[in-house]
């Protein structure tokens, strides 16, 4: 007769709960992340005293040289594209460089108004 005790293998801890938590965190961060469009050129917005943030789409870019850019379109084609894509009730965001003359920005605002936009957000830096 053999009265020796059988050796039990030590219980290994399951990594399944840890994997579940990692995937849940991954899904959480993917769902809460806002992916902003990449700026086509460097734009330094003018300094403003307001602390409002304009996070609305679509975003129209105006460079220091006066060039317009919107989702791959430049110049008047950018204005046409923003007019087609955007809803007229929703605001359009204008990211103009700080060195652009006020007359250029005013003319662009008039063109946007002519396209039917009632709300236009001009992006600036807090300073």
Q: Count of CB atoms within 10 A of residue 40's CB?
A: 14
Tens place of pLDDT for every residue, the chain, 127 residues?
566 677 777 677 888 999 999 999 999 998 888 777 777 777 777 776 655 554 445 788 888 888 888 888 888 888 888 777 766 667 788 888 888 888 888 888 888 888 887 787 777 765 5
Identify whether 82 is part of a domain.
yes
* Residue 107 belongs to domain with CATH number: 3.30.420.270
Dist. CA 11–CA 17, nearest whole Å: 16
Phi, psi (rounded to 5 degrees) for 80 = -65, -40
Q: Give me the pLDDT at residue 125, please.
A: 65
Distances (CA, A) of 16 to 12, 20, 21, 22: 12, 6, 9, 10
Phi, psi (rounded to 5 degrees) for 8 = -95, 140
Identify whether 84 is part of a domain.
yes
DSSP-based three-state secondary structure for 60? strand
Identify whether 9 is part of a domain.
no
Residue 74: CA atoms inside 13 Å, Cβ hemisphere, count? Answer: 7
Query: Could you list the residue range(s) of the whole structural domain that residue 71 is in?
Result: 47-126
CB 43 within 8 Å of CB 63 = yes
Identify whether 36 is part of a domain.
no
Task: Find the helix or strand (DSSP H, E) in which 94 lies.
Answer: strand 92-96
Identify whether 14 is part of a domain.
no
Number of domains in the chain: 1
Quote the pTM value: 0.54
């Amino acid at each position: 007769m053999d009265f020796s005790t059988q050796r039990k293998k030590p219980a290994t801890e399951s990594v399944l709960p840890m994997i579940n938590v990692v995937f849940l965190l991954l899904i959480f961060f993917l769902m809460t992340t806002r992916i902003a469009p990449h700026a086509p050129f460097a734009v330094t917005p003018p300094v403003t005293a307001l602390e409002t943030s304009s996070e609305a789409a679509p975003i129209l870019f105006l460079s220091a040289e006066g060039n317009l850019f919107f989702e791959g379109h430049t110049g008047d084609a950018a204005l046409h594209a923003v007019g087609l894509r955007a809803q007229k009730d929703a605001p359009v965001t204008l990211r103009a460089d700080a060195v652009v003359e006020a007359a250029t920005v005013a003319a662009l605002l008039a063109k946007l108004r002519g396209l039917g936009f009632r709300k236009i957000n001009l992006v600036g830096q807090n300073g």
